[in-house]
A and B are shown apart, each in its own frame.
Chain A
Amino acid sequence: MNDTNHIASAFDRDLDSIQALIMKMGGLVETAISDASKALELRDTDMAQIVRKNDKLIDALEEEVATEVARVIAMRSPTAGDLRTVLSVLKISGNLERVGDYAKNLAKRTSVLSEMQPVNGTGASIRRMAKLVSVMLKDALDAYIQRDADLAADVRARDTEVDQMYNALFREFLTHMMEDPRNITACMHLHFIAKNIERMGDHVTSISEQVIYLVTGEIPDEDRDKADRTSYVAAPKES
């Protein structure tokens, strides 16, 4: 990577402004995750409504990034580190947009869940999981700004914890549903929420991989430990 300026200073301004858009998007997405999980725990439908509304801003930023990237590719024919910058920016904005969508979905389900009997202890667990993903996202974006491949690799490794939390929640929901069928509707919604947060973790992992690609020119190998084992879980047999 290269810290010196381009001879054409407008090129530097273009690249800087695209990256500023990504940072703005990242900030909005971090807020969306934390507000959505807080709204769920506190059964705060107003806050959930705000999260749903703000997702439009994130979507608009993604489109703006795509337009700007197309323009830079057409006008400046970026190569080497510049090329990797615009390519990674495009992918990162796509990932951020998806994370924003999941946060919006969390907020939607909050509106339904707040009408129902709460399921013991699950709100706090989900909020812990969301917090973990939110910190990962913050670190991934810091790694991006600082071009820090080591921090990005660390974030990527942390996704295992998210997977494990999801496994634990999956079993917890099963137990609640088997104990009392009246929990089923709420637990189905909560399960989708947990799954969506787990997916957010995957998108943050993908952002970290883009940072590694940006810095080193290589996409990391797919040798990461996957801890999502729920595909193999069956409900315990009734005795």
Chain B
Amino acid sequence: MFDDTKSTERVMADDDIKITAKGVDVFYDKTHAIKNVDVDIQNRAVTAFIGPSGCGKSTFLRCLNRMNDTIDICRVTGDIHLDGNDIYAKDVDPVQLRARVGMVFQKPNPFPKSIYDNVAYGPKIHGLAKNKAELDEIVEKSLTRAAIWNEVKDRLDAPGTSLSGGQQQRLCIGRAIATAPEVLLMDEPCSALDPIATAQVEELIDELRQDFTVVIVTHSMQQAARVSQKTAFFHLGDLVEYGETDKIFTNPVDPRTESYITGRIG
């Protein structure tokens, strides 16, 4: 016991970039919600977006899989590249993009279908399984990765909505990873969960970063500190500070970051 002196690995290779955003602006009608944001999201790491309500962190997250396309008055300008390819290019199908960049929302939102179908739906419509056996395998693998398989394997036909809140959220994460995405966007995934379910989801996020790039929006600064390797602080539509999470939480550069994370009025 106590013979391993290495603490949680935090430092990442800086050159492995999954998503690059340059000069991104977002307008809702006349409201300038995101102002000229540049950010590089690292591959196979967890990046947390923090900031007070209305700072633009969710809006920016939704730019990364073009969820803002669904809002008529919303206009996005600037460049966002996934693996070097412009995701706003004319020939990019947003539906295909969202299979690569999955999303988990604040409130668990299972489809009103069985647990099995919740997970099988995505792979089915994207043609990822040739037959029932393959589909079964994807469902089991996804639910195992989402750390819920053991709890639901005996009742896959039960409706997804019959699960508890924490289980529903893990089901939604399982559903999101069933299409084998490369990036997982999470918009306050634990805000409707109790502390135990929150801890389970955080543990899951930490495991997922072995294979996925995770971007999480959270109101809980402690959660950002616990799960992420990189943290971006947004304030009034500006990206104020972006850097290593441990640096942001021990010695931030910008006084606005310090004011926010220490719980001061600033």
Contact = CB atoms under 8 A, between A and B. Distances in A.
Interface of A: 1-2, 4-8, 11, 77-84, 217-218
30 contacts: A1-B258, A2-B258, A2-B262, A2-B266, A4-B259, A4-B265, A4-B266, A5-B264, A5-B265, A6-B262, A6-B263, A6-B264, A7-B264, A7-B265, A8-B263, A11-B263, A77-B222, A79-B225, A79-B262, A80-B249, A80-B251, A80-B252, A80-B258, A80-B261, A81-B258, A81-B262, A82-B262, A83-B249, A217-B251, A218-B251
Interface in B233-251: 249-251
Interface of B: 221-222, 225, 249-252, 255, 257-259, 261-266
B264 A2 contact: yes
A80 B263 contact: no
A62 B252 CA distance: 29
B250 A84 contact: yes
Contacts of A82: 262
- Which of A1, A79, A84 has the most chain B CB atoms closer than 10 A to its own CB? A79
Contacts of A78: 262
A163 to B, nearest CB: 31
B53 to A, nearest CB: 14
A81 B259 CA distance: 9
Contact of B259 (A2, A11, A77, A218): A2
A185 to B, nearest CB: 46
A142 B43 CA distance: 47
Contacts of B251: 80, 84, 217-218
A79 B261 contact: yes
B222 to A, nearest CB: 6
A83 B221 CA distance: 14
B218 to A, nearest CB: 14
Nearest to A8: B263
B266 A217 contact: no
Contacts of A6: 262-264
A218 B221 CA distance: 23
Nearest to A213: B251
Contacts of A81: 258, 262
B177 to A, nearest CB: 31
A228 to B, nearest CB: 31
Contacts of B249: 79-80, 83
Contacts of A83: 249-250
Interface pairs A-B: 3 shortest CB-CB: A217-B251, A79-B261, A79-B249
Given A7-B264, A84-B250, 10 more contacts: A1-B258, A5-B264, A7-B263, A7-B265, A11-B263, A79-B262, A80-B249, A80-B250, A80-B262, A81-B262
